[in-house]
């Protein structure tokens, strides 16, 4: 039995979904869960089997294309959420579209809290905007969506 793993990444805020990407079915958009997922190569780092951490974050690395940079920076500026789902399935039943019986093996939901990159790739940090330590209840990262455009000196 041959096993495959597919990753699905959704960037959203409230009821509005801004981007749906999948990284397994190369150069094609696929339908799964009643939605269309466009192909975009990405690697998610930080979901480890058997490890549970409080305030843990993960990194998603994508190629630094114009579209990806725009989506990621907009997500950071507007404090959007990202949901990452990893599925496992048997490739013997087909490898060209998502199978209805694939098994969810990992899932992560976090806010886009950081971005870094180079000329070839951009890394999006997903985590909690609530600080694990602080004097305020709850301490929170302020975004341009919450306070508007800050003054620049």
* Percent of the chain's residues with pLDDT above 70: 75
Q: Is the pLDDT of residue 137 over 70?
A: no
Q: What are the pLDDT digits (tens) for 52-99? A: 455 568 999 999 999 999 999 999 999 899 999 998 888 776 666 777
Please tell me the predicted confidence (pLDDT) of residue 75: 94
37 class by beta-carbon count within 10 Å (0-12 exposed, 13-18 middle, 19+ buried): buried
CATH fold for the domain made of 3-147: Pnp Oxidase; Chain A (2.30.110)
Whole-angstrom distance, CA of residue 116 vs CA of residue 61? 9
Please tell me whether residue 153 adopts helix, strand or coil conformation: coil
Please tell me the predicted confidence (pLDDT) of residue 130: 67
Whole-angstrom distance, CA of residue 102 vs CA of residue 90? 8
Task: Please tell me the pTM assigned to this model.
Answer: 0.78
Please tell me whether residue 73 adopts helix, strand or coil conformation: helix
Per-domain residue ranges of the chain: 3-147
């Amino acid at each position: 039995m041959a096993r495959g793993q597919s990753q699905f990444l959704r960037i959203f805020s409230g009821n509005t979904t801004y981007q749906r990407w999948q990284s397994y079915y190369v150069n094609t958009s696929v339908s799964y869960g009643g939605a269309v997922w466009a192909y975009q190569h990405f690697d998610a780092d930080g979901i480890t089997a058997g490890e549970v951490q409080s305030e843990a974050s993960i990194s998603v690395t994508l190629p630094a294309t114009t579209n990806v940079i725009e989506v990621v920076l907009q997500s950071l500026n507007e404090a959007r959420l990202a949901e990452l789902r990893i599925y496992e399935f048997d490739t013997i039943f087909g490898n060209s579209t998502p199978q209805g019986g694939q098994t969810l093996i990992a899932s992560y939901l976090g806010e886009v809290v950081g971005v870094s990159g180079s000329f070839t790739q951009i890394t999006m940090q997903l985590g909690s905007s609530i600080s694990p330590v602080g004097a305020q209840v709850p301490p929170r990262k302020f975004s341009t969506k919450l306070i508007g455009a800050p003054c620049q000196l």
